[in-house]
């Protein structure tokens, strides 16, 4: 259902007030997506998994309970990683990686192979 002209004016006024009152927050909201949030959570859960692995390996011989605690950290971080990976999906992965591709420097595999051959003195026959 389309908005009436009066409702559109109210919405524009609210949006203008939002941008004027807190421009930093408005810019962050504009740039932040669900995909970036899920990607960030995947990174943190990976780091937590590694910490849990280190705790497990280093403390299991000292105390079984500390080793089990490390394993539980690993298990919880794996579950969180899996949940955020599901949120991410293919579209989210494309969104996350789109900002990290170097612009204008795409090299095809065929070109790369010929550059390597030329560097090491082998010529194409």
> Shortest CA distance to 75 belongs to which of 101, 49, 94, 50?
49
**Are the C-beta atoms of residues 77 and 52 closer than 8 Å to each other?**
yes
Q: Could you report the per-residue pLDDT of 101-119, keeping only the tens digit for each?
A: 444 445 555 566 666 667 6
Looking at residue 123, what DSSP letter applies? P
**Are the C-beta atoms of residues 92 and 32 closer than 8 Å to each other?**
no
Q: What pLDDT score does 72 carry?
A: 96
Q: Could you report the per-residue pLDDT of 45-76, keeping only the tens digit for each?
A: 999 999 999 999 999 889 999 999 999 999 99
| DSSP helix/strand/coil, 63 | coil
Report yes or no on whether pTM surpasses 0.85. Answer: no
Burial 67-100 (b: 16+ CB within 10 A, else e): bebbeebbeebeebbeebbeebeeebeebbeeee
């Amino acid at each position: 259902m389309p908005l009436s002209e009066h409702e559109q004016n109210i919405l524009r006024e609210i949006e203008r007030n939002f941008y004027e009152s807190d421009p930093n927050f408005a810019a962050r909201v504009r740039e932040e997506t669900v995909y970036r949030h899920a990607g960030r959570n995947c990174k943190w859960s990976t780091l937590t998994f590694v910490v849990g692995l280190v705790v497990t390996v280093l403390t299991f011989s000292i105390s079984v309970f500390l080793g089990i605690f490390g394993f539980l950290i690993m298990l919880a971080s794996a579950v969180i990683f899996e949940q955020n990976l599901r949120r991410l999906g293919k579209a989210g992965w494309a969104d996350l990686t789109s900002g990290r591709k170097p612009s204008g420097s795409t090299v095809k595999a065929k070109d790369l192979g010929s550059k390597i051959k030329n560097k090491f003195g082998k010529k194409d026959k």
